[in-house]
Amino acid sequence: MSQYNASIIVLDKFIQATRDSGYKGTYSAISELVDNSIQAGAKNVRIKIHMGTDEHYPMQIAVLDDGSGMNVATLREALRFGGSSRFNDRAGMGRYGMGLPNSSLSQAKKVEVYTWQNNNKPIYSYLDVDEIASGKLAEVPLPIAQTLPEAFATNIEKSGTLVLWSQCDRLSNRKMQTIAYKLEESLGRIFRYYIWDGINIYVNGKAITAIDPIFYRSNNGGIRASLFGDPMEYEIGLPSNNGGSSQIGKVIVRFTELPVHEWHDLPDEEKRTKGISNNAGVSIVRANREIDFGWFFMGSKRRENYDDWWRCEIKFDPILDEAFGIAHTKQQIRPQEYLNEILTPDIENIAKALNYRVRQAHLQLKTNERSQDAEQTAIQKECLLTPLPQNIRKEKYETILTHVESQDKTIRSITDTPNK
C-alpha cells in the first residue's frame, strides 16, 4: 500500500488558492506592508514602482523602511503563513501574521525580503509561487547574508527592511503612473493619522499627503468641514473566552458637515477631485488606521446625493475586532448584530437630520439663485421699456410730479429728502 499524504495543507493547491483570497487590490495589499513597517517603528516608508527585466511581468514593486529590522528567526517566521511574533497582539495594527506572505503573493509570484539590524549586512530570504507549486520549495529558505540590490543600496539607515515583489502578475493596473497615483490617494487616507503624527510615506520619491475623508482637517488648505455636535462615545463589553467578566472596548463616533454654501458652486470636476461627489459614507478606523469606508450602521436610511455633504467617522479599540468582524486582511468590516443594535439607532437618526439640513441649505441656495436670476433678467430687459419723454417742459414735469406725490406716500417721502 502506497504511503498516503494526510498533511493538513496540500501545499501546491493551497499556495494557488490563497493568492485569490482576501485583498481588494494592489493598494490594500501594499497597505499590509506599510502596516508592518509602521509597527516595526519605521519613520520613513519608501515605495518604489519600477521596471525589471522579466519579459512577461516587468513591473516590480519595492517597500523600503527604516524600522527595527529582523533577525534570522524573525525573518523566517515572518514569511510563514500565520507566522508572527505578534500573533493575536491587539496593541498595534498587526494580529494574524498573514500580512507579508499573503499580501505579497496575492500580487506577485515572488517576494524577496532583505532586512538588517545595527548596521550589519542584510540577511535575505524569499517565497516563490512556482517553486512552491512544483514542490521544490516546501519551507521558508534559511536566511543568508546578501547585499542589497544596487538601486536600494544608498542612504540606508542602520536598521530596516526591504520587501521586493517581482513577476507581478496580478496588479490592479498595468501602468506605473496609475498605480502610483492610486497609491497616493489610498495610502494618504488609510494612514492619515500616522502621517499627521510624523510618519513619512513616499511613492517614487513623492511624499504622500494625508487625506481626511471627513474633511475635519483641510485637505487642500483653507475651508474645512465643521463638527456636528459632540463626539459620541460607547463602551461595549465582550464576553471573555473563559466565560469570565467582559472585556470593555471603546467606540467613538463623530459627524462633520461640509461647507455647502462655500463649495456648492464648484465645478463638478473639482468636486470629484476634492472627494465630495459620490463619497458619502462612514470611515471605519482601527488603531488609527482606516479599515473600511462605506454605508454602515444606517438602518433604513438610503444613500442620496445630499449625503455627499456630510461625513461620519467611527474609531474603535482593537479589542472589539470580533464585534466589527475584522478579517486578517484588515480592509473591511462585517459588524455583528449586537453592534448594529447599539450603534445604528443613533447614527441613523443623525444621518437623517444631516440629510435634512443639507437639503434645506441647497433649497436656500436655489431660492437665492432664482432671486438673482430675476434681478438680472430685469436689468437685461430694462432697455426694452419705453423711455420717458425728454422734451417735456419743466413746468409740466413739476405739475405731474406734484400730482403723483399727492397720490402716493412712498414717492412723497422720497421727494421730501434733502436730495430732491
Q: For residue 278, count CB atoms less than 10 angstroms from its CB and return exposed for 0-12, middle for 13-18, buried for 19 or more.
A: exposed
pLDDT digits (tens, 9 = 90+) for 180-224: 999 999 999 999 999 999 999 999 999 999 999 999 997 666 789
In this prediction, residues 116-139 reach a mean pLDDT of 93
Report DSSP letters for 377-411, one per residue: HHHHHGGGSPPPPS---HHHHHHHHHHHHHH-HHH
Which pLDDT band holds residue 1 (cuts at 50, 70, 90)? very low
pLDDT at 10: 72
Q: Give CA–CA dist 232/251, Å, rounded.
A: 8
pLDDT digits (tens, 9 = 90+) for 215-267: 999 766 678 999 999 999 999 987 666 665 578 999 999 999 999 999 999 99
pLDDT at residue 405 greater than cutoff 90: no
State which H helix or E strand residue 166 sits in: strand 160-166
Least confident range from 79-88, 260-269, 291-300: namely 79-88
Crossing angle for the helix pair 176-190 and 26-39, to the nearest 10 degrees = 50
> By the 8 A CB rule, do 236 and 339 touch?
yes
Q: For residue 54, count CB atoms less than 10 angstroms from its CB and return exposed for 0-12, middle for 13-18, buried for 19 or more.
A: middle
pLDDT at 214: 96
CA-wise closest residue to 278 among 315, 313, 311, 314: 311
Q: Give CA–CA dist 109/16, Å, rounded.
A: 10
Q: Give CA–CA dist 102/126, Å, rounded.
A: 13
| CATH of the domain spanning 226-362, picked from 3.30.230, 2.30.29, 2.60.120, 3.30.160 | 3.30.230
> By the 8 A CB rule, do 216 and 196 touch?
no
Find cell 517597500 and name the residue. Answer: 63
> By the 8 A CB rule, do 228 and 217 touch?
no
**Better-predicted residue by pLDDT, 134 or 94:** 134
Instruction: Could you list the beta-strand ranges (E) of 66-151.
Output: 110-116, 123-128, 144-145
Mean pLDDT of the chain: 86
Coarse DSSP helix, strand, coil percentages of the chain, rounded to the nearest 5 percent: 35, 20, 45
Give domain limits for the chain.
11-207, 226-362, 389-420
pLDDT at 388: 56
pLDDT at residue 90 greater than cutoff 60: no
**Better-predicted residue by pLDDT, 155 or 413:** 155
Burial readout 224-240 (b: 16 or more C-beta within 10 A, e: otherwise): bbeebeeeeebebebee
pLDDT at residue 296 greater than cutoff 80: yes
Which pLDDT band holds residue 22 (cuts at 50, 70, 90)? low
Q: Give CA–CA dist 142/360, Å, rounded.
A: 66
**Better-predicted residue by pLDDT, 87 or 225:** 225
pLDDT at 70: 97
Coil, strand, or helix at residue 274? Answer: helix
Give the angle 158-163-164 at the CA atoms, nearest 5°.
130
pLDDT digits (tens, 9 = 90+) for 297-332: 999 999 999 999 999 999 999 999 999 998 766 778
Domain at 11-207, CATH class: alpha beta
Burial readout 23-49 (b: 16 or more C-beta within 10 A, e: otherwise): bebbbbbbbbbbbbbbbbebebbbbbb
Least confident range from 288-297, 298-307, 354-363, 380-389: namely 380-389
pLDDT at 376: 64
pLDDT digits (tens, 9 = 90+) for 157-175: 999 999 999 999 999 998 9
Q: What percent of the chain has pLDDT over 70?
A: 79
